Structure 1
Amino acid sequence: MAFKIGYRTLKTAVGAGGAIAIAQALQLEFYSAAAIIAILCTSITRRSSLKASGSRIAACLIGMTVSVLFFQLLGYYPWTLTAILLVFIPLSVMAKVKEGIVTSSVIILHLYTVQALSVEIIVNELLLIVIGVGMALLMNVYMPNIDRELRHYHHEIEDHFKTILRELATYLRHGESDWDGKEIPETVQLLQEGQNVAFRNIQNHILRYDDQYYYYFKMREKQFEILERVMPFVSKITHSVPQGETLADFLSELSGAVSPANRVPYFQEKLRAIKQSFQETDLPATREEFEVRSALLYIMYEMEQYLYIKDRLWNKADKKKL
């Protein structure tokens, strides 16, 4: 494996070094703690970093308050430290700031080490917290642009959908296909990875809680589930019928139209026309023809859902950015 330094590693290192430099320049006691806090608060996204920083500040304030009370009342003894942790940890969990337990424990140990309480000591610890958290937040101001990565998944998924629909159409026409189906597991992986990147993109925006790509990947995931349900029914069609040719033409045209553009009304109307023509056709003459037409009707029903999903979820997305 090649040696590589990622952007998060770089930010963590710079943030830790900056925090300890500032704390040392201010001649703070236990200045190395500022670097520890900076490391713990530097996260992969802005929102998670902000949450982690808030939790650690709140936990530190709780820890310092409990420590001051217990040390003043009980003195500086190991069992006093035990009592502080027995109270502090449950309080942090109740306050939903358990992420800050480790950081706060460092501050509590500082107070135990100096075995004295004064304004200077309290200010010293507060400055360590502010410097460490501040440097982490400053480092997380920069986040790499992942639009290119999102566009990559978007285009790859569309290409896979086109292939799948095209191969389904081929099978309906000829009752066989030399397609190896590799796009199926690849699409599953692309959808999962794309959603992960889209979620990370959302987490990098403090005030925005949705994303056009997030809705896009959710839409394709639900549509892909329908394509998976359709495949066994397509494989059951062992011989060609006129209705199968018509549906194959529909799937082939739909394959060529896989894109962010919302052409759902056009294809919904086309599907309704195909269903109408099916209803006007004479009843099946044989059991085999009956089974084939039943499978085709099921496929049409699923394709109606396929189109409906896009029409429903597409209203939530910002189409201009896709």
Structure 2
Amino acid sequence: MTVSLRAIKIAFATTIAIFLAQLLQLDYSVSAGIIAILSVLDTKKSSVRIALQRVSSTILALTIATILFQFIDFSTLVFGLYLLIYIPLAYKLNVEVGIAPCSVLVSHLLVEQSTSIGWLTNEFLLMVIGAGIAILFNLYMPSKEPQLLVLRTNIEEKMKQILIGFDLILTNGYSNKKVECLLNELSEDLKIAEKMAYTDYNNQLFSPDKDYLIHYFDMRQQQVKVLAEMSTDLGACSLPTKQTIILARLFRQTAEQLHESNPVVDLKKDIQSLLNEFRNSELPKTRKEFENRAALFILLNDFTRFIQIKKEFFEQEKA
């Protein structure tokens, strides 16, 4: 939620909450507006959850205050005793978000020297109105799906460029600097995308148990970590062997088939074929050939992980 949208929501929610409290002839009507300010949060789910916790906290606070004020006295010391009892209980019951506003409501009882049904109802309604109006205004949250789809496209495009870069590094000895820059950009893009996906998910009050885009970006994040590991091993593959050429082509082939709906079955077969090629090929004759073969084998194992991550994602989403 942008700062301007948040400011608009707070201003209108606060004003309407105060007007409504005044219309119902509630005392301390401004408190309803203050509660509304505190209850306009970043997502729909958080607004509803916090509002319910504050209403529960209000019931707890008013109950404790009524018992103490009735059986001891309306005094500052008793108000302090109320805080000593109420605050630990609020934390234990996970309703601590209501400590500040509920204690303000209890202070009204202290000022009025009364815990009558009328005053208790007055304080409870102030909380319900403030939190309720805030929820109504937070029901409008612009969807972030268009931005998420753009991010998804950009992320896939950068991953394609990295895989093509791997191909060029193996076949032509190109510099790895561009790939490193793309990996850094991808890491930042994925952090933004994942945060945005969670926000969008929490703005759906009746959302499913799992969200596709959250899982999708998590899958890509795992793959990018593997690509970063592979990038560091590319420098050791300096000899233009048959296996090097095959692996380079496999990188380019993967780049062309990177789209999210690809079950990667064919790519798994191609990797297995290359593994068989490694096993059946002539053993290295020199130390340099051995090191090159070992580096290629490490790359191939990492690339197998890269493909397996996508395969598991596809199977989980299909299930």
Normalised to the residue count of structure 2, the TM-score between the two structures is: 0.95
Q: CA deviation at 1:226?
A: 0.7
2:165: which partner in 1? 167
Is the CA contact (8 Å cut-off) linking 1:158 and 1:259 kept in structure 2? yes
- Where 1:91 maps in the other structure, the secondary structure is helix
Cα distance in 1 between the residues matched to 2:95 and 2:157: 45
Cα distance in 1 between the residues matched to 2:79 and 2:51: 25
Deviations 1:26-58 (A, max 9, x none): 121000011111111111111111111011111
Cα distance in 1 between the residues matched to 2:318 and 2:24: 48
- Where 1:317 maps in the other structure, the secondary structure is helix
- Where 1:315 maps in the other structure, the secondary structure is helix
Cα distance in 1 between the residues matched to 2:38 and 2:315: 40
2:94 matched to 1:135? Answer: no
Letter in 1 for 2:69: F
1:205: which partner in 2? 204
Q: CA deviation at 1:238?
A: 2.2
Letter in 2 for 1:188: S
Cα distance in 2 between the residues matched to 1:280 and 1:318: 36
Deviations 1:231-284 (A, max 9, x none): 121111223212101100000111121111224101001111111122221111
How many positions carry a matched residue from both structures?
316
Is the CA contact (8 Å cut-off) linking 2:57 and 2:96 kept in structure 1? yes
Deviations 1:41-91 (A, max 9, x none): 111111111111011111111110011011111111110110010001011
2:194 matched to 1:188? Answer: no
Q: CA deviation at 1:229?
A: 1.0
Which residues of 2 match residues 20-169 of structure 1 at below 5 A?
20-169=18-167
1:239: which partner in 2? 239
- Where 2:139 maps in the other structure, the secondary structure is coil
Q: CA deviation at 1:178?
A: 6.5
Q: CA deviation at 1:179?
A: 4.3
Q: CA deviation at 1:318?
A: 7.3
Is the CA contact (8 Å cut-off) linking 2:230 and 2:302 kept in structure 1? yes
- Where 2:283 maps in the other structure, the secondary structure is coil
2:288: which partner in 1? 288
Cα distance in 2 between the residues matched to 1:190 and 1:21: 44
Normalised to the residue count of structure 1, the TM-score between the two structures is: 0.94
Is the CA contact (8 Å cut-off) linking 2:40 and 2:138 kept in structure 1? yes
Q: CA deviation at 1:205?
A: 2.0
Letter in 2 for 1:299: L
Letter in 2 for 1:11: K
Q: CA deviation at 1:8?
A: 2.1
Letter in 1 for 2:53: S
Cα distance in 2 between the residues matched to 1:5 and 1:226: 37
2:298: which partner in 1? 298
After the TM superposition, which parts of structure 1 deviate over 4 Å for at least 4 consecutive aligned residues?
Answer: none
1:248: which partner in 2? 248
- Where 1:44 maps in the other structure, the secondary structure is coil
- Where 1:182 maps in the other structure, the secondary structure is helix
Is the CA contact (8 Å cut-off) linking 1:268 and 1:307 kept in structure 2? yes
Task: In structure 1, list runs of 5 or more residues that go unmatched.
Answer: none
Distance 1:239 1:212, change over 3 A: same
Cα distance in 2 between the residues matched to 1:205 and 1:15: 21
Cα distance in 2 between the residues matched to 1:143 and 1:91: 34
Distance 1:5 1:90, change over 3 A: closer
Letter in 2 for 1:219: M
- Where 2:151 maps in the other structure, the secondary structure is helix
Distance 1:178 1:85, change over 3 A: closer
- Where 1:84 maps in the other structure, the secondary structure is helix
Deviations 1:160-213 (A, max 9, x none): 101111111111112333643311111110111111011111211234232111
Is the CA contact (8 Å cut-off) linking 1:215 and 1:314 kept in structure 2? no
Letter in 2 for 1:131: I
Is the CA contact (8 Å cut-off) linking 2:263 and 2:314 kept in structure 1? no
Letter in 2 for 1:101: I
2:315 matched to 1:307? Answer: no
Is the CA contact (8 Å cut-off) linking 1:45 and 1:200 kept in structure 2? yes
Cα distance in 2 between the residues matched to 1:316 and 1:13: 44
- Where 1:6 maps in the other structure, the secondary structure is helix
Cα distance in 2 between the residues matched to 1:117 and 1:49: 29
Q: CA RMSD in A?
A: 1.5
